[in-house]
Amino acid sequence: MKEYSKSDQAFLRSYNIKKVRGILRNEKSCSRVDLSSMANLDKKTITNIINDMLSDGEVTVVSKSNDGVGRPKENLALNGEFVHCIGLDVGGTHLTGVIMDYTGKVLCDHSIDIAGMNSDILMQLCDLVIEELLSKSNFTLDRINKIGIAFPGYIDSKTGEAKLTENIKGWQRLPLAELFHKKYNVEIVVDDCSRLMALSELRYGAGRRGSNFIVFDLGLGIGCGIVINGKVFYGAMGMSGEVGHTIVKVDGPHCTCGRNGCIESIASGWALTDQALELLHQKESPLLYEATNKNTKTPTVKEIGLAAKLGDEKCLQLLKNAGKYIGIGIVNSISIINPSKVIVGGRLIQDNDIMFQEIVRTVKREALPEMIRDIKIEASQLGELATAMGAATLCLENYFEDE
C-alpha cells in the first residue's frame, strides 16, 4: 500500500475542499450525503471537511429535513458573510463597481459616467465609487477581503500592470495592483475587461455550466472573452480575445491601433459616435439633431439608436453596418474556435435590437452552415454589471480553482 507524504496529503485535502466548494457554489445547497456522492468522496472525508468549514464560518446550515428515519438531514450552503469583494469595471465611458459576497450575490452597485479623464482623475473617481459602495452596504473597508479590477487593453494579470490601452488616455504601463494596494491595503487582482465579462457569464450568466463559448464585449472598444473546457482562455502571452483589432475591411477607416479596417474602426462605440458626428456636421440626419437636443456635440450610441427607431435612415444604416461587421468578426471566431454558444454583451448592445438582429442575420448568412448548425447566439442578460461582477468573481476564484 502506497504511503503518502504530508505534502501529498495536504494537496489532496486542499483539492477535496475546493471540489466541495465548487459543488456548493453550483448547487447552492446540498446535504452531506449529496456532497459525498457528487464529490466521489467517502462520508468520513466529507464529514471532516464540512465540520472544519462550519467551524471556520465558510458554510452554514440553511435547512433541516426529516424523512422519519435517523437524525434530521442538514442542507448546507456557502456562507456569504465569509468573504466580501469589490469588483471595479474601469471603462472608457464609465466606472462601475459592485460588492459581492462569497456566494456570488451582488450586495450593492454604483456607476458613474466618465469621458476623456486622465489617469489621476480616474484614480480619484475609482476612490469615489469604492466610497459609495461602502456607504451603500454600510461596510467599512476591513470587511473587504479583496478588490478586483477590470481594465480594457493589454493587462499583465500576474503583476497587475496595465501595459497598454488605446481607449483611455494616459493609462500605459501603470502598476494598477500596486497603486490600489497602497491605497486600500488589501489584495488586488487585475485582468482584462472582456475576459472578466466571460468569467461572469461562465459563473452566473448565459454560459453557466457551459464548456466552450465566446463572449463579444461591445462598448467603446470591442473585445472578446474565450472559454475553453470550462476555463477562461488567456493565450501564450495573456493577449487572447483582441478581436476588435482583426481586419475585416482592408481599405477601411483608420483605427486607434494604427492600422486600417479593424472591426473597432467601423463598429465600436467610438467609431459610431465619430460617424454620427459627421452626419450632424453634414446636416444629413435631422432626427439625430433632435435626439441630441439640437446640439452638435458628439452623439451617444443611445441617441443614435433613438434616432434610428424614430425612422432616421442614416442612423439605421450606421447601426446595421456596425452589426454586419461585428457579425463577420463572430463568423471568423466561430470558424477558429468552434464554440457551442456566442454571447453578445456590453453597453453598445443594450437596448439596441437593430444592431443585435443584424449581427444574427450576418452570422446566419456568412457562416458555413455546418459550423453554426447547433450554435446559439444570445444577448447577455447580466446588463451593465457583467464586467464588474467578473472582477469581483476573479477575487473568489482561488477559493474554488487552482491558480
Between 138-147, 236-245, 307-316, 352-361, the lowest mean confidence (pLDDT) is in: 236-245
Residue 1 lies in a domain: no
DSSP assignment of 109-163, as one string? Answer: EEEEE--S--HHHHHHHHHHHHHHHHHHHT--GGG--EEEEEESSEEETTTTEEE
Q: Is the pLDDT of residue 18 over 90?
A: yes
The number of C-alpha atoms within 13 Å of 312 and in the hemisphere containing its C-beta is 24
Residues 220, 93: Cα–Cα separation, whole Å: 7
Helix (H) or strand (E) run with residue 323 in it: helix 313-337
Between 9-18, 45-54, 100-109, the lowest mean confidence (pLDDT) is in: 9-18
Confidence label for 28 from pLDDT (cuts 50, 70 and 90): confident
Q: Which three three-digit cell numbers place residue 341?
A: 454558444
- For residues 216 and 345, the answer to whether their CB atoms sit within 8 Å is yes
State pTM to two decimals: 0.91
Give residue 337's pLDDT.
Answer: 93
Q: What is the 3-state secondary structure (H, E, C) of 173-209?
A: CECHHHHHHHHHCCEEEEEEHHHHHHHHHHHHCCCCC
Q: 72 with 99, same domain?
A: no
- For residues 18 and 402, the answer to whether their CB atoms sit within 8 Å is yes
**Residue at which a domain ends, from 66, 81, 96:** 81
Convert the pLDDT of each residue in 143-166 to its tens digit: 999 999 998 878 777 887 777 676
Q: 373 with 229, same domain?
A: yes
Give residue 170's pLDDT.
Answer: 62
Give residue 5's pLDDT.
Answer: 58
Q: Which three three-digit cell numbers place residue 226?
A: 474565450
What average pLDDT does the structure give for the chain?
Answer: 89
Which among 144, 200, 203, 190 is positioned nearest to 22, based on CA atoms? Answer: 203
Q: Is the pLDDT of residue 111 over 80?
A: yes
- CATH code, domain carrying 43: 1.10.10.10
**Residue at which a domain ends, from 54, 81, 108:** 81
Q: How many angstroms separate the most distant Cα atoms in the chain? A: 84
- CATH code, domain carrying 252: 3.30.420.40
Confidence label for 185 from pLDDT (cuts 50, 70 and 90): very high
Q: 12 with 41, same domain?
A: yes
| Number of domains present in the structure of the chain | 3
Q: Which domain holds residue 314?
A: 211-381
Give residue 68's pLDDT.
Answer: 58
Q: What is the dihedral of CA 387, 112, 134, 89, to 10 degrees?
A: 20
Q: Which strands, in side-by-side order, build the sheet including 146-151?
A: 106-113, 94-101, 84-90, 146-151, 187-192
Residues 132, 125: Cα–Cα separation, whole Å: 10
Residues 376, 24: Cα–Cα separation, whole Å: 28
Give residue 233's pLDDT.
Answer: 95
Q: 36 with 92, same domain?
A: no
Q: Is the pLDDT of residue 1 over 60?
A: no
Give residue 401's pLDDT.
Answer: 75
Between 95-104, 137-146, 158-167, 222-231, the lowest mean confidence (pLDDT) is in: 158-167
Place of cell 473597508: 141
Give residue 116's pLDDT.
Answer: 66
Three-state DSSP state, 270: helix
Residue 206 lies in a domain: no
Residues 106, 178: Cα–Cα separation, whole Å: 26
Confidence label for 130 from pLDDT (cuts 50, 70 and 90): very high
Q: 181 with 300, same domain?
A: no
Q: 22 with 109, same domain?
A: no
